[in-house]
A and B are shown apart, each in its own frame.
Chain A
């Protein structure tokens, strides 16, 4: 187990190093001069040069890359070009939105999908199964930002139950903050829940058809216990794989949903930074997102070994 963790951590570090190089190179060729964006269409050339110098853009590329990576190793993410603030502070502020949002979406998605998928598989072609198929078909087809717009129209504009977007901050109590996050989390969760429901259903169906399930039934274990003790634990293995993959979708989807709901999260910061060519912030956020995905996959790997005893004995 320990050896597995260490080898995983090493490959994690190497992947991140490659990712950092790729991000840097892509941003090098991306058109757009951050100084010209800050100073607008009326600025003179000498003013632009002064700002470029202030931003450190007049340094050679290699030096800028080494300074960036070196800074990160010392825990310094640099200073945002547009906000003139340490990126670490900005990111920490935004994490307060994106992390709870993603966690809430994962919770909703899992709580919806697992029981639905198992219930649909338990009575194949029954009314529940048909309903679940329609739901998952719709959920897969409709993008999250559009669900978000519909939610705003229905729950905020017509019913007035939820704010139409924005985030009051955690300082004003947990209630209003959760209220602001619920609709976006639902919009983020539903398409993923649809995928997860389908996977749970087909995984469960596959296990239900397996020999050991028939044996269990033949030995006199009742339907309910078979499902709980034999089918679901085995079906969870492919479901975990999908859930792990979905976590990266949640972070990516947050960019769209945060923009629709006007939430000050990491995804929105990334979008703003990109349009302002705040290179420092873009580099850091893409690296953080990549890091998160890599770490999540690492955790999923560990999760396998817990779920599947066969993997545990092998290492």
Chain B
């Protein structure tokens, strides 16, 4: 009898005790499932949003303010000419499979990324590298052929995480990194489960025992899952029209932050009439960015006048360079010879922000005598084929989510068909400038050139509409790079 009572008491204490301790599991909702879990071989943002900082680590990390912080490299020195980087590595770091991390792994990971056969989506960040030397297991010396102002920032991106030679080939399905969480399982189409890495080199870095990423594409289903408590946090909700309700609900914290996604209506600058800067400026003058954001994204999102994220410290506000002014738009169109009207088309992807923006833009343009016909174009497949590769379009609209990607306007073969030698030289110069202040000044000038030349209609920065349980702390409000860093997240009760 007494044994039974004891057993019952034990059972009771076991079942009751954990209820007093803070919760240690986290379920994060994401709109898109990653195709594979290796950020070094493919571009999709979703791969980084599951793995970066949680599973894999780079030499440095980008913190929630977009600043470079040490990670696997505890410190570094840059030679006065800016061509030699010497990294001192953390010691006692182990990969999830138990093997030791050292300088050879850094050399392997970067050599793999810059190999001619590599499919790294941001291969250009490794392009300046001439050699990688490993004088001892805790030191890496990287020599560049030309200075690279953003080199350290790049090393914090998902494309530059450190992977081990033994496991790299299988990382897409069975990821092995050095991060505070290790891979447990992937129920494809539904969820990825991570568990705490007990041997993590920064003891007590994270309070969470497990993190589950669930993939819910339908915006109504996302809202339902958050409300029902099936998901604790949805860092990037796809339902702006329902976001305001969460803001009023005290059970949730709802924060409208910024992503790195510049939403722009790119124009075919090589094609008539878009080869005429007066026409491009006229179209920009015809667009009321505030009203557009109101209609397309329920008022969330920051207007932009150029191609730079407001998250970035080098950002300058250029929204007043070509403000909303329909009268001026008409005058410019008349000057360019289109006083009697103009008929153009827009290839619009199916994403809600894009198709809604296209409709609103068509309405605004009709006010100044421009008839814009909307051609729905499936994204990504059809859009990449027709617009991106074949450049068979007048106007299109898409959000460019890569961070620090203003250089796409300096590329010759890019889909905008934009050619501006002054801009190109300036971007090349900025990329090589190691002095931060001087580099920022060059980026500011580049932003102003684009704002005046309008190779694309600059609309708004895609917001990051985050909703999470009010008892959660440590969630990121902005995403300075594509990432869902949950390593500092915990439950308050």
Contacts and interface: CB of A to CB of B under 8 A. Distances in A.
B173 A32 contact: no
Interface in A8-51: 30-33, 36-47, 50-51
B224 A47 contact: no
Nearest to A35: B119
A100 interface: no
Contacts of B384: 32-33, 36-37, 41
B167 to A, nearest CB: 14
Interface stretch (A80-88, A210-218, A246-254): A80-88
B276 interface: no
A93 B173 CA distance: 14
Contacts of A53: 117
B33 A44 contact: no
B228 A84 contact: no
Contact of A164 (B217, B228, B413): B228
A84 B118 CA distance: 16
Contacts of A276: 35, 380-381
B10 interface: no
Q: How large is the interface on B (under 10, 10 to 19, 20 to 34, 35 or more residues)?
A: 35 or more
Contacts of B378: 275
A157 B227 CA distance: 7
Interface stretch (B144-152, B284-292, B385-393): B385-393
Contact of B121 (A39, A90, A272, A275): A39
Interface string A43-86: 11111001101100000000000000000000000000011110
Contacts of A268: 189
Given A38-B35, A262-B218, A264-B189, A164 B224 contact: yes
Nearest to B378: A275
A260 B188 CA distance: 16
Nearest to B390: A31
B381 A275 contact: yes
B230 A164 contact: yes
A58 B143 CA distance: 35
Given A37-B384, A51-B119, A262-B217, A163 B405 contact: no
A165 interface: yes
Interface in A114-161: 149, 152-153, 156-157, 160
A165 B226 CA distance: 11
Given A50-B116, A261-B221, A272-B33, 7 more contacts: A31-B381, A42-B43, A47-B120, A153-B224, A157-B228, A269-B189, A278-B35
22 contacts: A32-B382, A32-B384, A38-B43, A39-B119, A40-B42, A40-B402, A41-B384, A42-B402, A42-B405, A44-B123, A47-B118, A50-B119, A53-B117, A163-B230, A164-B230, A165-B218, A165-B225, A166-B225, A259-B218, A262-B217, A272-B189, A276-B381
